[in-house]
Amino acid sequence: MTTAKRVKDAKIEAKFQKAREGKAPRPKFSTRKHNRCQICGRPRAYLRKFGLCRLCFRGLALRGEIPGVSKSSW
């Protein structure tokens, strides 16, 4: 094995090791799984349809970044 190949393999292994460490532990039971906002990770006030918490949803909706959602006015 050449030196270049060993260095490349070590870099790839380090990259995968970082990914393994960053992974959250899998819950033992499916009922323990808690939905979280995709943007900020907030566990409360989660909107299933959008996958966001109410705060992030409101901010994106006001900026018009969520298609089909607009601020109501009457």
Task: Compute the distance between CA of residue 66 and CA of residue 15 in angstroms, rounded to an integer.
Answer: 34
What is the per-residue pLDDT for 28? 73
Q: Is the pLDDT of residue 74 over 80?
A: no
Token couple for 29: 């039971």
38 closest CA partner among 60, 21, 24, 56: 56
Cβ contact 58:52 at 8 Å: no
pLDDT at 55: 93
Alpha carbon distance, N-terminus to C-terminus of the chain: 73
Instruction: Report whether pLDDT(48) > 70.
Output: yes
Ramachandran angles phi, psi of 9, nearest 5° = -60, -40
Q: For residues 37 and 15, give the distance between their C-alpha atoms in angstroms, rounded to a whole number.
A: 26
Looking at residues 15-37, what average pLDDT do you find?
75
- How do residues 18-27 score in pLDDT, each as one tens digit? 777 766 667 6
pLDDT 10s digits, 50-65: 999 999 999 999 998 9
